[in-house]
Structure 1
């Protein structure tokens, strides 16, 4: 075979084959394992309701993402095309993904706002102590499991410039699916389920410390509420009246007693006014006398009926 023919064939083999298309989508095969390809579908984002966060000329729509997709995977895959600004995932995550929904102790039982004196004391804390507390919170932060996508999930990738989007649509085929060498990603499979098991069952000693801390804050909040209630007790209101309150000791579950306040009954002025105005007008006196006469007549008729009954029974002895 002539040398010229060989060089032409070698040149043709060196030219990378362009990506195939399917119903307007560009098909991108990636190597998720040795001799195992996963096909992703790319398309330029086009929408009438384009926004600054999702512009038409810089957004790439990616369909059929692998279930183990992370931001690092997508940045490693399309990083050669240009700078990626944002990534928006769709279709949610798999049902077995665990989220930490613990709220703070203050949100749990509604801590009363601290007094100015208390705030002033807290503000005097040294920076060293604050840094130690911050480190302790970071160490005690719950471990979050790696999110797993549903099969066939999609995402929008926003690039910095339009040319980068065009380069992503013309990327090379059979790229290796990886998050990068220097990226530490949680492993999946059996290791993930073992991690989930350990996260869902915390250490009893640490759990007891957390419970004790919660109860201490809860009691401190109760005492603060009682103190504020005692301060408000027997204070004169804007109208010049004093609302009398009473205290009642209530036994708690730990055997101690706490003081709880009850709202006092305010003095009703309208009732007194109504009583004072009775029989004040002439028509009121007239109506009262008429009602009394009606009652007397009614009683007289009842007595007459009783006398008639006794006469009939011949037991009537007037003298």
Structure 2
């Protein structure tokens, strides 16, 4: 089947890439699908945009393997030039298995390390509680987009030139050629597999439960150790977290010494203020003592005067 002559080579900056869709038992007629390809130009620039191609109107059964074979074997590019494929709504993930999210394990402080460990435990719990997939292969609605990243810019430009050359030869690569045994089948087999995955084996469920309990116990143990350290170390304000369980005498002495050192450091900038305050208090105290002395002396004089009158 040749490409219709009225189909342009480009439209709105996209190169039109015709693909031949083979017939299926449920639809025994071949068809032509048009893929629209252009250099990737995201609104927010990224380091890999210059070596990426943007695709739209991807077939509903597209997978990373489909596009890698299409842009390497079927277009004549050297193997391994495609780095990865990112479909719309998904970021560098496999089509059938959800891997655990990556995490930068290079913290620079103890607080970051603690937070990093907490996040790791949370991820382990999340992955342990994730239900098994009930579909062995993901399908997409027609018209969705994808981004293909190549190892370098020259590979991306070579792929774009190969698409134009294939179009000039009026040749249409066959979509999914050579992948029949490398991907789970569609049709009734897919729905039978879906029904099977809805009822996982008891051993798989037990494995999932054991994994969750192991991750939960590890998190609880880490929290107990963290609380034990907090009971022995004063914070920035010099306070010690009060929790369950007692402390040894050595730990109390160390905590008291650390608290005394921190309080002494805080008082360094306030020495002049406290000296002025003490002078003012001393003056007030001296004035109060003098006032009381005068009052007592006047009382004594009055008592002597009364005593002299009585004797007369």
When the two structures are superposed, what TM-score results if normalisation uses the length of structure 2? 0.47
Higher share in strand: 1
Higher share in helix: 2
- The structure whose Rg is larger is 1
When the two structures are superposed, what TM-score results if normalisation uses the length of structure 1? 0.46
